Chain A
Amino acid sequence: MKVKLKIDREESLREKVEELSGENLLKCYQCGRCSGGCPSIASMDLIPNQVNRYIMLGLDEEVLNSKTIWACASCFTCSQRCPKGVNLPKIMESLRQIRIRKNVDIVSVDELTPKERMELPTIALVSCLRKMSS
């Protein structure tokens, strides 16, 4: 078995996420209750508890390139129910912010059709752009 040890000393994703979210990832004991109640799970590639685990394992690219962080609707169901008090919405937001702060736009107004722009209420556009554009 090959074991890859990472010893580069740039700030790791885990450190960055812990700093931005104020959460201690070690608190998570992988019970999966967060994922059990997540409304968005059908459009996720990593389920919410996996996000925590992947960060711990140093699988940075997998997490940062996952669909999950954009599928999260910030509904606070997982944090409400987590028996260990882990605030996953904050972890998800940190991951989105790490991407967005590199000028990544997942959604941009220009890509919406005129019909969508007419139909969608302000509240939907503002909240989505706040979450998914730089």
Chain B
Amino acid sequence: MEIPYYPGCTLKTTAKNFDDSAFAVYKKLGIELKELPRWNCCGTVYSLTSDDLMHHLAPIRNLIRVEEQGADQVVTLCSMCYNTLAQSNLRIQQNEEERDKLNEFMYKEKVKYDGKVKVLHGLTVLRDMVGYDKIKSQIKKPLDGLKVAAYYGCLLLRPKEVCIDDPESPTIMEDLIRTTGAEAVPFPYANECCCSYETVSNKDIVIERTRMITQSAQAYGADVIITSCPLCEFNLDNRQKEVRKKYPDHVDIPVLYYTQLLGKALGLPLKSLRFDLNYINPRELFK
């Protein structure tokens, strides 16, 4: 089965390990991620003011690209892209006047967009379209004994209108972890924000948050953290070097995209999983 795929900017640059591992994993599970032939940056954040329609053009244009493919759904893997596309889509669906205005702005587009495209996240595709039983049956190298903490962060869960699971007690990633034979370790910081883009303007708060999140996962026994957001990944993975500088007793914990973990359990070749692009070396985990 083929699904149109919207990668977003970061999966083509610093999160190439997410992109490459996802292509391999979904393919193995019978889903062809078909990258949209044309796409643009969604803007990464959903605009929150009532009068700012302009910033919904970027996400909506991508949904027009999906309709141009004759499709009615699109999958994305990045939590921020997912959130932005899904929230803009919802706004268009619920507000006719704004929908007309936006379509007028985009008068050069051949398609008039009416909010019909379904925005999916990669995790829900695994849960709802592939099914965890099927995934379990395809596991070649069970990750027995490995303890994995799922870090959701914010944008898969909030606001609740676009949440992919229960907003306060999600299990979608833990259930996925269990299909690989690994143990899922719940921990209290799983839905706590890493402070996101503050990593540019106020690195210190991110260092503190990263310390709390990574050390909490370790305190609950985790060997590795998985995530689906390239910004969370950067904060939790790369910023640990700054945590270590400030708190010399900090012990590093590797951070992986969920597709990398799953790929390993599916027995996919290492070169498709691109562990070389993770900051803290995860290879030791699988020795």
Name A residues whose Cβ lies closer than 8 Å to a Cβ of B: 19-22, 39-40, 42-43, 70-71, 73-77, 79-80, 89-90, 93-94, 97, 106-107, 112, 116, 119-128, 130-132
| Docked-complex contact A121 and B196, CB < 8 angstroms | no
Question: Which of A94, A112, A121 lies in contact with B230, CB distance below 8 A?
Answer: A121
Q: Is B251 an interface residue (CB 8 A)?
A: no
Assembled-state Cα–Cα distance A17/B39 (Å): 34
The 8 Å CB contact of B52, one of A97, A112, A131, A132, is A97
- Nearest A residue (CB) for B153: A75
Given contacts A76-B158, A121-B14, A121-B234, 20 further A-B contacts (CB under 8 A): A20-B50, A21-B49, A21-B50, A39-B205, A70-B202, A75-B154, A75-B193, A77-B193, A80-B167, A93-B49, A94-B48, A119-B238, A120-B200, A121-B13, A121-B230, A123-B234, A124-B199, A126-B44, A127-B231, A128-B197
- Does A79 contact B159, Cβ atoms closer than 8 Å? yes
A20 and chain B: residue at smallest CB distance: B49
Which residues from chain B contact A93 at a C-beta distance below 8 Å? 47-49
Say yes or no: is B45 at the interface (Cβ < 8 Å to chain A).
Answer: yes
CA distance A129 to B55 in the complex (A): 13
Determine the chain A residues whose CB is within 8 A of the CB of B238 once the complex forms. 119
Residues of B within 8 A of A116 (CB): 200
A-binding residues in B (CB < 8 A): 8-10, 13-15, 41, 43-45, 47-52, 55, 78, 80, 154-155, 157-160, 167-168, 192-202, 204-205, 208-209, 230-231, 234, 238
Residues of B within 8 A of A71 (CB): 198, 202, 205
* Distance A43 CA – B199 CA, assembled complex (angstroms): 13
Instruction: Tell me whether A97 and B49 are in contact (CB under 8 A).
Output: yes
A131 touches B45 (CB 8 A): yes
Q: Which residues of the other chain, A, contact B193 by a CB distance below 8 angstroms?
A: 39-40, 73, 75, 77
B12 to chain A: closest residue by CB? A122
Q: Which of the residues B49, B200, B231 comes within 8 Å of A94, measured between beta carbons?
A: B49
Question: Smallest distance from the beta carbon of B14 to chain A beta carbons, Å?
Answer: 4
Q: Are A73 and B49 in contact (CB under 8 A)?
A: no
Q: Which of A42, A70, A106 contacts B208 (CB 8 A)?
A: A42
Find out whether the CB atom of B195 lies under 8 angstroms from the CB atom of A80.
no
The listed residue with most A CB atoms (<10 A of its CB), out of B78, B167, B193, B230, is B193
Q: CB distance B205 to A40 under 8 Å? A: yes
Decide: A39 near B199, CB < 8 A? Known: A75-B158, A121-B230, A123-B78.
no
- The listed residue with most A CB atoms (<10 A of its CB), out of B15, B51, B197, is B197
Residues of A within 8 A of B201 (CB): 70, 106-107, 128, 132
List 6 interface pairs A-B (beta carbons < 8 Å), by A numbering: A42-B205, A71-B198, A76-B154, A79-B158, A80-B157, A121-B14
How near does chain B come to A107, taking the closest CB pair, in angstroms?
A: 5
CB neighbours of B80 from chain A (8 A): 123, 127
B15 cross-chain contacts in A, Cβ below 8 A = 121, 123
Minimal beta-carbon separation of B228 from chain A (angstroms): 13
User: Bound state CA distance, A12 and B208, in angstroms?
Assistant: 37
CB of B45 within 8 A of CB of A124, answer no
Q: Which residues on B sit within 8 Å (CB–CB) of A120?
A: 199-200, 234
Min CB distance A47 to B, Å, is 14
Across the two chains, which residue of chain B brings its CB closest to A22? B50
Name the one of B47, B168, B198 contacting A40, with C-beta atoms under 8 angstroms. B198
A80–B193 Cα gap in the complex (Å)?
13
C-alpha gap A14/B124 in the complex (Å): 40
Which one of B10, B43, B204 has the greatest number of beta carbons of chain A within 10 Å? B10
- The CB with the most chain A CB atoms within 10 A, among B78, B80, B231, B234, is that of B231
Q: How far is the CA of A73 from the CA of B205 in the complex (A)?
A: 11
